[in-house]
Structure 1
Amino acid sequence: MGGKFSTFTADIGIDDEVGERGFLAVFQVWVDGIKVHNNSKVTGADPAKKVEVDISAVIVK
């Protein structure tokens, strides 16, 4: 990333078409083998959730 970015953002969720039948999903963010975000658990009944992770300290090898 070369220091060009400081934040990773994403909207996560399960497609609306599955409704309440959607299984539990866990979304994680990994940077260079390091987990920097965890536990965004959603089901098909949940609305999309916003994830925002500070990546300003990430060192690219």
Structure 2
Amino acid sequence: MAVTPIGIAINAITRTIGPLGQIAFVAIAAFALAAFLGYDPIAIAESWIQTQIRGIVGV
């Protein structure tokens, strides 16, 4: 994967910002992609959080 420009970029990001930074980077990219495609990223995130809380609580 490191032979492609995308692979090189991903390796550089991973080395620079570490695993937590990479998770944040992916979350921001997914948020931007959802907004670009016309979805409401806030509603998607809110629904996901509610689902996780319901799973933890057992509702």
Same topology, TM > 0.5 = no
Structure that is richer in helix per residue: 2
Q: How does the TM-score come out when normalised to structure 1?
A: 0.21
Q: How does the TM-score come out when normalised to structure 2?
A: 0.22
Structure that is richer in strand per residue: 1
Larger relative contact order (C-alpha < 8 A, sep ≥ 6)? 1
